[in-house]
Structure formats: structure tokens, C-alpha cells
Chains A and B, each alone.
Chain A
Amino acid sequence: MTPPILEARGLSKSFAGMVALDNLSFSVNEGEIAGLIGPNGSGKSTVVNLISGVLVPTSGQVVMRGQDVTGAPAHQMARRGVARTFQMIRLFGTLSVEDNIALALQQKEGPGYVSSFFRTPAARRQRAAAGVTAREMLKLFDLEEKASDLAADLSIGQRRMVELARGLASEPTVFILDEPAAGLAPHNVDRLIEMIRRMRDEFGVTILLVEHVMRVVQSVCDRVVVLDYGQKIADGPPAEVVNQPEVIEAYIGLGRGKNA
């Protein structure tokens, strides 16, 4: 069997003495939609930031395809194929929607700043190709008519779709979605579920879905890892996991699980 695409091995992180994550291990296999769930404050966002290189773990390892990438900065993780979205949507507000995506997918082709400055034919071709790919992506997400709008001018639902298009366009090895349903209206959540499935089924993208809206997790995930107080309390298919007493306790026991 091939090694998992992404592995967390004994990851721990503390902030000023507060333990946010305690010895967490889990893995994500190629072509899988893995869920990472848990109540607010259970350490989900910390996991995302550790894997995407925003934070450095206090101890433990992040391993991609058997290679230790612990502590690599965010831009290097991106070049290794980790794409992500943000709980609070992040786009370049003063750039057009198309440029937002084109910029992301230009990063893998190496610097090219000098040839871009001199407007060499190769640089122009590359830029034009990025634009074409960006528009194809937007078409997939039904946003092609918004391509030249400023990213700041779109609605929340549209902005979320642009984030997905940006990540997908960069042909990620693993695509981390950080609470993508946050702030979305119900019909947009349906659309989100559909697009997450299509990204995997049609493009073969491996997805790590961090979420606390159970409806999303249960309908798309092959497997879920459950966190509580920085520790893993369950790991398995969604239907089984939700019936485990620890999970019920974590979500319902303290009345914290209004979304469960």
C-alpha cells in the first residue's frame, strides 16, 4: 500500500503554556475526503495552521508522502501542494476574481519575475494560459461572468466559491477546507457539498475537511477524525463515529453542540 498523502505524527502545540493540541496523530489517504471535526476550541484551526505552515508545532511531525515537512514555512507548503481555504474567507480584495486565481496557479512555475518584467513571449504566454485556466475554473463554479469583478465586491457565497476555485486551480496534492460552511446560507451549503464531491470525483483531489456543521461532514466524508480538548477521541466512518459515546459526550454532553 502507498504511504498516506498526509500524516500528522504526535503533533502538539501550546500557546504561552496553554496546550491547544496534544499528541495528535492521523493520516489522510490519496483520493479520500477526510473530515476533522470537534467542538469550538477543540484545536481544529491549530491543526490546519500547523499543516499549512502558518504555525510551527511544539513537537511532533507533519509528513507528506513519507517526507518530513515539519516546520516548513507557508509558501513552501503551498509549493509542495498544500492548498487551503480560510474560515474567514481570504481573497485579494483589490484584484479581479480572475487575477486572484491566476496568481495562485502561477506560483508553481517558479519565479519568472525577470521574464515577466521584460514581457518575454514565454512570460506572456504563461500569463495568458493562467488566465484561460482561471476562467475555466470560474466556469466550473458558475462564476465566469464575475471574472473581471473585484473580489471584494462579491457575496459571501460567491467569495467562498472563488476560494475553492483558487485552491482547485493550483492542482493541490491535498486541499484543506477550513470550515467552508461558516456563514453560508442553506442553499449555498448544498452547493458547497456538491462542489466538494465533484472536486474529488472529477479531479481526484484529496481533501481534508475541517468542519463543525455535521450535515456537511456526514454527507461527503469517507472518514472522520474527532478532536476534543486538543486530543483525538475517535477516527472512523462518519456513521460509526457519531454513535460513539465519547463523541456524543463531546458534542452534546456540555450543551456545546448546537450545530450537531
Chain B
Amino acid sequence: MVSDLVLLPQFLTNGLVIGSGYVLVAVGLTLIFGILHIVNFAHGEFYMLGGFAAVLGSQLLGLPALPTLLVVAVVMAAFGLVVERVVFRPLGGKDPTNAIIASFGLSVLLQNLMLKTVGAEPMAVKSGFAPGAIQIGNVFITAERIAIVAAMAVIVAALLLVLRYTWTGRALRSLSENPTVALISGVNVRRVSLITFVIGSVLAGLSGALMSTVFMVQPNSGALIVMKAFIIVVVAGMGSIEGAIIVGLALGLIESLVAGYMGNELRDIVGFLIVILVLAVRPQGLFGLKTERS
């Protein structure tokens, strides 16, 4: 057991890194799913495309880390804009199940399109950092991994500031509380929806770019991550950004501990068991308000 405990800090560190990636994807999804009520199964493909956009920036254009992230943000903003305008807006307001099917189709389309154009081989994103791990106590960690956690903290902090202090952020929050009232009080719901969707798409892309420096990217990279993002959003409670941050980090830590102490093959199953349990017991999520209405 001694050796097990020696590894604990390392497992926790790994979990923090993976959890940070989950947080970015899940916060983006909670904006889109929790607030706009768009069930976007293609959100994982946004993550995957972000990874490939980073490959484009770092490998093909030879850009350093920050400009590469900028490229990713711009590409994903443009992509999110097109998808919202072309697919989700025309479907909005009608049968919500139609958007579920359409986004499922988009997910299948993007995955296989990338498979045909870039192939199934995993690709790495070059961070430009010095190779090799840094030792802190018993914990080994690479510069990329530190950067992931730091970037997540900065991006999430920036997002929270935007939501609190900008007009769009306030409009978004009023939209999440009551769309009808928001509409009546002069919020341009269409514009706010578009901006929200674009922000969500950029967050997913940035996460994909950051995580691909460590885990590489391939066309099906997003398939599992989108499910975990849904798990996080649902467990946290629809539209709860703070909840998504906590649950996202927690899922990363739990997975890392399960992989370390119980076996790697159980890692991915844990999250799904948690969501089935939470949905069955507390359908409104851990941080969601119960809304029983007459």
C-alpha cells in the first residue's frame, strides 16, 4: 500500500490536467445545451477540429503556442458561426428532437469527413516547450500539462468576467433564467444565441488544441469527450457554469484514481455509471434547482 500512496499525488496531478480539458469542453456545452437548449452531439467534433486547427497552426504554419491558439479560436469561431446559422437556427423553435438528430448527423459527418481527409493516424500538436518532465516532489509533470491547467484557469476566469461585466454576458444570464422575459425586455435573443454558440464552439476548440499537445488528435477524438461533457453538464445541472467547473475537475480526478488503483479499462465507464445514477436519483443535477411546477 505504501507504493500506492506514493503515486497518489501523481494520479491527482494527472486528473487535474485531464479535468481541465473536460472543464473547457463542458463549460462550452453548458452554454449551448444548458442555456440555449441545443442538444449538440457534434460538440465533441468541435473539440476534435480544434485539435486539428492546432496541428495546422503549429506543424504546417510553424507558429508558436499563443498564435496557434489564436488561429484555433478564429477558426472555431468561424466554424461555430456557420453551424449556428446554417443548421441550428433554421431548426430552432420547431420540434427540438429535430436538432438532436441533425447534430448527431453533423457529428457523424465531421468525424468521417476528417477520417477521409487526414486519415486515422493520431497527430501531435507541437507546443514549442522544452521536452522532458519537471519533477516537483514525487510528481513528474511536463510543461504542456502545466500549460493546460494554467490556460484553463485563465480562459474560464475570462469567461466568468465576460458573463458578469459585459452587456452580452448579462443578456445571456437573463436568457438562461427566462427567455420570454429576456425577449420582452429588449434582449436580441438571436444575436445572444449566436454569440453564445460561438463562445461554446471556441471553448471546445481550445480544449481540443490544448489536450492534443499531450494526447494527440485523431478524427474520433471527440466521440468519448462529448459524452463526458454531457455527463458533466447533466450531473452539474443544466446551465450551471460553476457546477460544470467543479464536476469537470472532479470527473478528471475520479477517472485518474480509478485508472490508477482499479485498472485503466474501468476509467471510461465510471463517468457513465455516475450519470446514470445521478439522472435516476436527481434528474435536475447536483447543482440544478428542482423545478416542480403546477
Contact = CB atoms under 8 A, between A and B. Distances in A.
Direct contact of A and B (CB under 8 A): yes
Contacts of A49: 294
B97 to A, nearest CB: 14
Interface in A231-254: none
B289 A55 contact: no
A45 B294 contact: yes
The B interface is mostly helix, strand or loop, or mixed, namely loop
A16 interface: yes
B170 interface: no
B290 A46 contact: no
B293 interface: yes
Interface string B62-105: 00000000000000000000000000000000000000000000
A49 B289 CA distance: 21
A15 interface: yes
Interface string B268-294: 000000000000000000000110111
Main secondary structure of the interface of A (DSSP, over half): mixed
Nearest to B290: A16
A54 B292 CA distance: 11
A189 interface: no
B294 A46 contact: yes
A22 B194 CA distance: 45
Contacts of A15: 292-294
A16 B289 contact: yes
A88 to B, nearest CB: 13
Nearest to B291: A16
A66 to B, nearest CB: 27
Contacts, number: 13
Nearest to B293: A15
A20 interface: yes
Nearest to B292: A15
A165 B294 CA distance: 24
A52 to B, nearest CB: 11
Contacts of A20: 294
A216 B289 CA distance: 39
B31 to A, nearest CB: 25
Interface in A26-54: 45-46, 49, 54
A74 B286 CA distance: 28
Interface in B202-233: none
A20 B294 CA distance: 10
Contacts of B292: 15-16, 55
Interface in B176-219: none
A36 to B, nearest CB: 14
Interface string A49-77: 10000110000000000000000000000
B64 to A, nearest CB: 52
B94 to A, nearest CB: 14
A55 B294 CA distance: 7
Contacts of B289: 16
Contacts of A16: 289-290, 292
Nearest to A44: B294
A178 to B, nearest CB: 11
Nearest to A15: B292
Contacts of B293: 15
B263 to A, nearest CB: 42
A15 B291 CA distance: 8
A59 to B, nearest CB: 16
Interface string A5-24: 00000000001100010000
A25 B293 CA distance: 22
Nearest to B289: A16
B291 to A, nearest CB: 8
A45 B293 CA distance: 10
A15 B293 CA distance: 8
B237 to A, nearest CB: 14
A27 B290 CA distance: 32
Contacts of B290: 16
Contacts of A55: 292, 294
A49 to B, nearest CB: 5
Interface in A88-133: none
Contacts of B294: 15, 20, 45-46, 49, 54-55
A55 B290 CA distance: 14
A50 to B, nearest CB: 9
Nearest to A13: B294
A16 B294 CA distance: 12
Given A46-B294, A54-B294, 4 more contacts: A15-B293, A15-B294, A49-B294, A55-B292
Interface of A: 15-16, 20, 45-46, 49, 54-55
* Across the A-B interface, the 6 shortest Cβ-Cβ residue pairs: A46-B294, A45-B294, A49-B294, A15-B292, A55-B294, A16-B290
13 contacts: A15-B292, A15-B293, A15-B294, A16-B289, A16-B290, A16-B292, A20-B294, A45-B294, A46-B294, A49-B294, A54-B294, A55-B292, A55-B294
